[in-house]
Amino acid sequence: MTLRHFRIFSEVCRLESITLAAESMNMAQPAVSYAIKEMENYYETKLFERMNRRLYITEAGEQLLLYTDSILAQFDEARDVLRDKNAVTKVKIGTNVSYGISWLPELTAGFLKQYPEIPLYTLVENSRQIEEKLLRNELDFGIMDYPMHAEYFITNLMKEETMSVVCAEQYPLPSCIDIQKLQEIPLLLREEGSGSRSLIESLLNKYKILPEIVMESSSDRSLMEACSQGRGVLFLTTAEVAPYISSHRLREIQIEGIEINRAYYLVYHKSKFLTKSMKCFKNYMEQKEN
């Protein structure tokens, strides 16, 4: 397989059409079809299904596309950097929402103070979205929950913090409850794909609790506002809810015998080409860890 094959495959996936890919790449349509056929023969699997004159990528094709995006991005990145090995390059970091709210401003300010010449790009999304962008080489580093596809990544523990269970000041609950009480209480949770959602679902599954979820959101602030209005009980990191607790808009509830901790990891792809700027960021994070 050559880079030409991967570029053709990537363009066919992007446009969902061999004809449009051929036009985009200024190639004859049979040449594009033949390249795809060569790839299917090489990998001994179907990469696309053709139904009703439409092209649908297969599960095997989806897996190959992850590698393809990474291979092409790393090739272009390596070319640009090696042409000027001392070049200062942008470092692209993705963090999950909890870390982004509580710790990212301090992190970026500290790094830019130490390395003012290195530009940073930061993106705050949930852990699943960050992982997908790392797989596609759209980000250099992720600060997130433990990745679902850990076999593709180098993963280092960076920070741990506690999760708090909170409700409105006047919500009719005692300050300490049994875990089974959560079966009866309306819950406010982050959206599926977020690390805190996965953590809470694992806890509830462990105790065979079927929750009554009354609100889901990717916005922690909207969840805290709804919780302060008495909608139900909310799980978020202690750092995030602290201002609401100190202003008496929320109060903390203890779950008898249970402490919930959340971990954040520095994650990057095993095949990632680390530029000089990326190595500076990695070293900075390792110093913070120690």
Which pLDDT does position 169 carry in this prediction?
94
Please give the single-letter amino acid code of residue 270: K
Nearest CA to 115 out of 290, 285, 238, 240 is that of 285
CB 93 within 8 A of CB 158: no
Q: Which domains does the chain have, with CATH numbers?
A: 3-62 (1.10.10.10), 91-159+263-289 (3.40.190.10), 161-261 (3.40.190.10)
Instruction: Give the CA radius of gyration of the chain.
Output: 23
Chain centroid to CA 74: 20
- State the Cα–Cα distance between residues 266 and 261, nearest whole angstrom: 17
- The reported pLDDT for the residue numbered 155 is 96
Instruction: Measure the CA dihedral 148/194/63/21, to 10°.
Output: -160
pLDDT in tens, 245-272: 999 999 999 999 999 999 999 999 988 8
Report field, pTM of the whole predicted structure over 0.95: no
Q: 106, 109, 196: which is closest to 144 by C-alpha? A: 196
DSSP 8-state secondary structure symbol assigned to residue 215: E
Let me know: does 237 contact 161? Beta carbons within 8 Å.
yes
- Print pLDDT tens along the chain (290 aa): 888 999 999 999 989 999 999 999 999 999 999 999 999 999 999 999 988 778 889 999 988 988 888 788 778 777 766 765 566 788 999 999 989 988 899 999 999 999 999 999 999 999 999 999 998 888 999 999 999 999 999 999 998 999 999 999 999 999 999 999 999 999 999 998 888 899 999 999 999 999 999 999 999 999 999 999 999 999 999 999 999 999 999 999 999 999 999 999 999 998 888 888 999 999 999 887 65
